Amino acid sequence: MESIRDRIAIVTGGTRGIGRAIASALLEAGVRVVVCARTGDAVTACIDRLEGRWPGRIKGAACNVSCFDEVRSLVDFTVREFGGLDILVNNAGVGVMGDIAEISPRQWQEVIGTNLTGVYHCCHAAVPILRRRGGGYILNIGSLAGTQGFAGGSAYNASKFGLNGFSEAIMQDLRHDNIRVSAVLPGSVNTGFRGHRAGEQARWKLTPEDVARVVVDLLRHDPRSLPSRVELRPTRPPRK
């Protein structure tokens, strides 16, 4: 089993939901973690919540991943604070649903800019550092919405289908640099994403911790083999 203790990670969208669960699981495994969100208040609240348990091992910065200058500043912050970067978890995402005639150009750009272009920005900024350190791991948190389209999902589906293709391509770009790339595709997760209410009525769904456990398992996986795509589904969803 690969050791990840004292590795350095960035988790985008790491202040709530799946991202915060991933950050917590990495901290538990001994990783030093930088989280980001669009607002400084969200970052501060997350660090205040986690710092007491893992003092000095979590830091954060505001970053809109759709803006490359902000992403570059986030990566520079990570290197400055912790001395490098070994793991990039691209988790930041937005979901806007609606008929194609209803989704505005601004909403389309927000979804594609965050869910797809934002991942490109993070990888583009991080890969030179990973190469200099002799390798690393990139994990792209996608969705089963990247495997099957649904009504009202034109922007979201497009971003997640695109993320799958992007992940497969960069996996082949980077494999000989000892940089492993995996895409994790969860189904329904019990969070407040896309306006859904989290709670007891959604207990059949995956939990954020289920996704986080897969991320840590991938990082610890024997580097001889690469699970390049993992699909994760609730075991017993409601019957239709």
Each of the 240 residues of the chain gets a pLDDT tens digit; together they read: 678 999 999 999 999 999 999 999 999 999 999 999 999 999 999 999 999 999 999 999 999 999 999 999 999 999 999 999 999 999 999 999 999 999 999 999 999 999 999 999 999 999 999 999 999 999 999 999 999 999 999 999 999 999 999 999 999 999 999 999 999 999 989 886 555 555 556 788 999 999 999 999 999 999 999 999 999 999 988 887
Backbone conformation region of residue 206, classed left if phi is above 0, alpha if psi is from -120 to 50, else beta? beta
Among 109, 137, 141, CA closest to 17 = 141
Tokens of 185: 């595709």
Catalytic residues: 156
**What SS3 state is found at 82?**
helix
Burial class (CB within 10 angstroms; exposed 0-12, middle 13-18, buried 19+) of 108: middle
Backbone conformation region of residue 174, classed left if phi is above 0, alpha if psi is from -120 to 50, else beta? alpha
The total of other beta-carbon atoms located within 10 Å of residue 134's CB is 10
Q: Return d(Cα 9, Cα 31) in angstroms, integer.
A: 7
Q: Return d(Cα 109, Cα 115) in angstroms, integer.
A: 10
- From residue 156, alpha-carbon distances to 80, 163, 223, 228 in Å are 34, 11, 32, 22
